[in-house]
Chain A
Amino acid sequence: MSAPLPRWADVVVLPLVNLAIALLVAALVVALIGQSPGQVMTMLVQGAFGTERGLSYTLYYTTTFIFTGLAVALASHGGLFNIGAEGQATLGGLGTGLVALWCSQTLPAPLLLPLMFIGGALFGMIWAAVPGYLQAYRGSHVVITTIMFNFLASSLLVYLLVNRLKAPGNMSVESVSFGPAAHLPGMHEALAWVGVTWPSSPLNLSLFLALFAAVGVYAFLWHSRAGYRLRAVGSSEGAAAYAGIRPRRQIIVAMGLSGALAGMVGMNEIAGVNGKLLLDFVGGAGFTGIAVAVMGRNHPLGVVLASLLFGALFQGGAEVSFEVPGFSRDMVVTLQGFIVLFSGAMAYVIAPALAALVQRAKSARGAAAAVQPSQAPHG
Chain B
Amino acid sequence: MDEALIGALIASTLRVATPLILCALAGLLAERSGVVDIGLEGKMLFAAFAAAASGAVVDSTLLALGLAMAVAVLLSWLHGFACVSQRGDQVVSGMAIDIIAAGLTVVLGIAWFHQGGQTPPVADTVRLHALWPGAQATLERVPVLGGWLGPAIGEGLLGHNALVYAALALVGAVWWLVYRTRFGLRLRAVGENPQMVDAAGVSVLKLRHAALTLNGMLCGLAGGYLVLAQNASFAPNMTAGRGFMALAALIFGNWRPLPALLACLLFGFLDAAAIRLQGVSLPGIGEVPVQAIQALPYLLTVILLAGFIGRSTAPKALGIPYVKER
Contacts and interface: CB of A to CB of B under 8 A. Distances in A.
A, B co-complexed: yes
Interface stretch (B93-101, B119-127, B210-218, B219-227): B93-101
Nearest to A25: B100
A87 B302 CA distance: 15
A331 B314 CA distance: 36
Contacts of B89: 81, 344-345, 347
Contacts of B91: 81, 83, 143
A164 to B, nearest CB: 10
Contacts of A334: 99-100, 103-104, 107
A326 B110 contact: yes
Contacts, number: 153
Contacts of A145: 302, 305
Interface string A323-337: 000111011111111
Interface string B78-115: 10001100111101110111111111101110111010
Contacts of A345: 82-83, 88-89, 92-93, 96
Contact of A328 (B117, B291, B298): B117
A140 interface: yes
A80 to B, nearest CB: 11
A83 B95 contact: yes
B13 interface: no
Interface string A135-147: 0001111011101
B133 interface: no
Interface string B278-306: 00000000000101101100110110011
A138 B88 contact: no
Nearest to A288: B99
Contact of A346 (B36, B88, B114, B312): B88
A212 interface: no
Nearest to A336: B99
A159 B291 contact: yes
Nearest to A158: B291
Contacts of B307: 138-140
B302 A341 contact: no
Interface SS majority for chain A: helix
Given A143-B91, A156-B295, A33 B107 contact: yes
Interface stretch (B2-10, B63-71, B191-199, B244-252): B244-252
Contacts of B95: 83, 287, 290, 340, 344
A144 B247 contact: yes
Interface residues of B, number: 51
Interface in A290-335: 290-291, 294, 326-328, 330-335
Nearest to A294: B92
Given A140-B302, A340-B95, A331 B292 contact: no
B38 interface: yes
A250 to B, nearest CB: 19
B79 to A, nearest CB: 8
Contacts of B82: 341, 345-346, 349
Interface string A149-161: 1011001101100
A158 to B, nearest CB: 5
B295 A147 contact: no
B241 interface: yes
A316 to B, nearest CB: 15
Contacts of A151: 241, 244, 295, 298
A65 B83 CA distance: 27
Contact of B96 (A147, A326, A340): A340
Contact of B295 (A81, A155, A341): A155
B38 A152 contact: no
Contacts of A346: 82, 86, 88, 93
A81 B90 CA distance: 11
A152 B300 CA distance: 11
Given A144-B247, A156-B295, A290-B95, A149 B88 contact: no
A148 B289 contact: no
A140 B306 CA distance: 5
Q: Most B CB atoms within 10 A — which of A81, A138, A330, A333? A: A330
A336 B103 contact: yes
A134 interface: yes
A337 B103 contact: yes
A152 B314 CA distance: 23
A355 interface: no
B104 A337 contact: yes
Contacts of A337: 96-104
Q: Most B CB atoms within 10 A — which of A145, A155, A291, A345? A: A345
A156 B298 CA distance: 12
A178 interface: no
7 contacts: A33-B111, A144-B251, A163-B289, A336-B103, A337-B103, A345-B93, A346-B86
Interface of B: 36, 38, 78, 82-83, 86-89, 91-93, 95-104, 106-108, 110-112, 114, 117, 236, 241, 244, 247-248, 251, 289, 291-292, 294-295, 298-299, 301-302, 305-308, 312, 314
Given A147-B38, A346-B93, 18 more contacts: A148-B248, A148-B302, A149-B298, A151-B241, A156-B291, A159-B289, A163-B289, A291-B99, A326-B110, A328-B107, A334-B103, A334-B107, A337-B99, A341-B82, A341-B100, A345-B88, A345-B92, A347-B88
Interface of A: 29, 33-34, 81, 83, 134, 138-141, 143-145, 147-149, 151-152, 155-156, 158-159, 162-163, 287, 290-291, 294, 326-328, 330-338, 340-341, 344-349
Chain A to chain B: the 4 pairs with minimum beta-carbon distance, closest first = A333-B103, A337-B100, A334-B103, A337-B99
